[in-house]
């Protein structure tokens, strides 16, 4: 299972499908074949492993399939993996995580009905951690939302004159571009578009456009200027002229967006936080002091420290002179454990949505 998880982690993080790895073992423990899912429209991990084994002339009758996610029982872009394993005489299937997708679930039951020995929950915590974004999107029906902040030590995203390039270092910006390459969509407010004219592209270390470009989402009623960089090379542009963030996420889910990165500005960040629609924060912190200038997050309506948003740090990383803190968000009205602390999170209803103020023209550091 460790090897299957390693294979899965090498697959693309973006896209509507989960990252899955599979290893086929002979009765004596010898590896017959391996595979992983390379994205929508490509063979699933089980099919890739079977193809590898067959190409090597291996007999799969009586073999064990070790898979990070329960084999699917759904015919979509590809055929059901459960049926494929049955067809090739697999005797035992071991998986880490049950498939929560109602359109694809039932593979374990189909395998058992065919006489296959099925064991679930092996390295389940590791499987849940690997698939946390995809699992959240499937279980809740909305994209997993990461809020990105890039600030000075005193929480500023720009100086008093509006200048913001560059607060963070080359290393931090390179990491942020790598993150963009892993998400399905990036969102900013219209104020950031007007003040900063961002391109919202994912770029390689050489400055070239990455192979995968996320959807570029602008939230707000102010039109995107005809000459804006958002209309240039990069991912498709989607304009959401609304203050209803739940509706925005619902429409993105219809586009098969599983992971949304919210990049700016302070008003949009506060709006997502106020309605409980942020799942994690990536905070790039530079050892810089300004003493004045716009804060990273606008007014949240919090009057007491008791009502503060409490984050649960998950990792801390040094990037050149800067520090990246990755933390799970706990909403003041939400007492559920953080997703990585449990095998099958029980998601509570999102608090009542509040109107989102007009977006400020606050510069955003990352373009």
Q: What is the pLDDT of residues 153-163, one digit of tens each?
A: 999 988 888 77
Q: Which residues have a Cβ under 8 Å from the Cβ of 281 and sit 6 or more positions away?
A: 146, 147, 148, 149, 311, 325, 326, 327, 329
274 CA to centre of own chain: 20
Q: Would you place residue 214 in the very low, low, confident or very high pLDDT band (cuts 50, 70, 90)?
A: very high
pLDDT for residue 172 is more than 60: yes
Q: Which CATH number fits domain 142-341: 3.40.430.10, 3.90.79.10, 3.30.300.30, 3.40.120.10?
A: 3.40.430.10
**Is 283:263 a contact under the CB 8 Å cutoff?**
no
Q: What is the pTM of this model?
A: 0.85
| 33, burial (CB in 10 Å: exposed 0-12, middle 13-18, buried 19+) | buried
* Residue 219 bridge partners (DSSP): 189, 240
Helix (H, G, I), strand (E, B) or coil at 180: helix
**Is 307:301 a contact under the CB 8 Å cutoff?**
no
Question: For residues 315 and 310, which has the higher predicted lDDT (pLDDT)?
Answer: 315
pLDDT of residue 104: 65
3-state secondary structure labels for all residues of 311-333: EEEEEEEEECCEEEEEEEEECCC
Helix, strand, coil share (%) of the chain residues, nearest 5: 25, 25, 50
Which of 338, 324, 322, 332 is closest to 280 using CA atoms? 338
Lowest mean pLDDT among 13-17, 92-96, 113-117, 328-332: 328-332
pLDDT of residue 329: 87
**Is 25:32 a contact under the CB 8 Å cutoff?**
yes
* Residue 97 bridge partners (DSSP): 69
Q: Would you place residue 129 in the very low, low, confident or very high pLDDT band (cuts 50, 70, 90)?
A: very high
| Domain 2-130 bears CATH identifier 1.10.3720.10 | no
Which of 1, 91, 103, 89 is closest to 45 using CA atoms? 1
Alpha-carbon distance of 330 to 312, in angstroms, equals 7
State the chain's mean pLDDT as an integer.
87
Alpha-carbon distance of 99 to 96, in angstroms, equals 10
| 294, burial (CB in 10 Å: exposed 0-12, middle 13-18, buried 19+) | buried
**Is 73:82 a contact under the CB 8 Å cutoff?**
yes
pLDDT of residue 272: 95
**Where in the chain is CATH 3.40.430.10?**
142-341
**Percentage, residues of the chain above pLDDT 90:** 72
Give the pairing type, strands 21-25 and 64-69: antiparallel
Quick one: average pLDDT of 162-184?
Answer: 90
CA angle centred on 356, ends 354 and 357, rounded to 5°: 135
> How many residues make up the chain in this entry?
367
**Is 65:102 a contact under the CB 8 Å cutoff?**
no
**Where in the chain is CATH 3.40.140.10?**
2-130
Lowest mean pLDDT among 160-164, 204-208, 261-265, 267-271: 160-164
Active site residues: 46
pLDDT of residue 354: 35
Which of 297, 269, 302 is closest to 155 using CA atoms? 297
Question: Tokens 């892993």 sit at which residue?
Answer: 182
Q: Count CB atoms within 10 A of the CB of residue 58.
A: 18
């Amino acid at each position: 299972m460790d090897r299957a998880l390693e294979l899965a982690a090498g697959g693309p993080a973006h896209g509507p499908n989960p990252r899955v790895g599979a290893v086929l073992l002979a009765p004596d423990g010898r590896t017959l074949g391996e595979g992983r899912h390379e994205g929508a429209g490509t063979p699933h991990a089980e099919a890739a492993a079977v193809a590898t084994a067959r190409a090597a002339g291996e007999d799969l009758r009586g073999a064990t399939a070790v898979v990070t996610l329960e084999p699917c029982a759904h015919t979509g872009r590809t055929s059901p993996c459960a049926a494929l394993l049955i067809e090739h005489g697999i005797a035992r299937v071991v998986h880490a995580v049950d498939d929560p997708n109602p359109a694809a679930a039932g593979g374990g039951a189909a395998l058992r009905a065919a006489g296959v020995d099925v064991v679930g929950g092996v390295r389940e915590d590791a499987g849940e951690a690997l698939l946390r974004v995809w699992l959240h999107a499937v279980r809740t029906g909305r994209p997993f939302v990461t809020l990105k902040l890039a600030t000075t030590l005193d929480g500023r995203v720009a100086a008093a004159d509006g200048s913001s390039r560059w607060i963070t270092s080359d290393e931090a910006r390179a990491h942020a571009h790598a993150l963009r390459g892993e998400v399905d969509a990036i969102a900013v407010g219209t104020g950031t578009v007007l003040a900063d004219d961002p391109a919202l592209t994912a770029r390689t270390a050489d400055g070239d456009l990455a192979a995968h470009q996320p959807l570029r989402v602008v939230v707000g009623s102010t039109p995107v200027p005809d000459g804006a960089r958002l209309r240039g090379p990069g991912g498709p542009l989607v304009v959401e002229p609304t203050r209803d963030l739940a509706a925005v996420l619902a429409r993105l889910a219809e586009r098969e967006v599983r992971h949304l990165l919210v990049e700016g500005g302070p008003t949009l960040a506060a709006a997502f936080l106020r309605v409980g629609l942020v799942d994690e924060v990536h905070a790039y912190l530079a050892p810089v002091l300004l003493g004045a200038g716009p804060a990273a997050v606008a007014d949240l309506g919090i009057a007491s420290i008791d009502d503060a948003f409490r984050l649960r740090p998950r990792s801390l990383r040094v990037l050149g002179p800067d520090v990246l803190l990755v933390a799970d968000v706990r909403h003041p009205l939400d007492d559920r454990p953080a997703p990585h602390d449990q095998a099958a999170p029980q998601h509570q209803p999102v608090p009542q949505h509040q109107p989102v103020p007009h977006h400020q023209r606050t510069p955003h550091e990352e373009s």
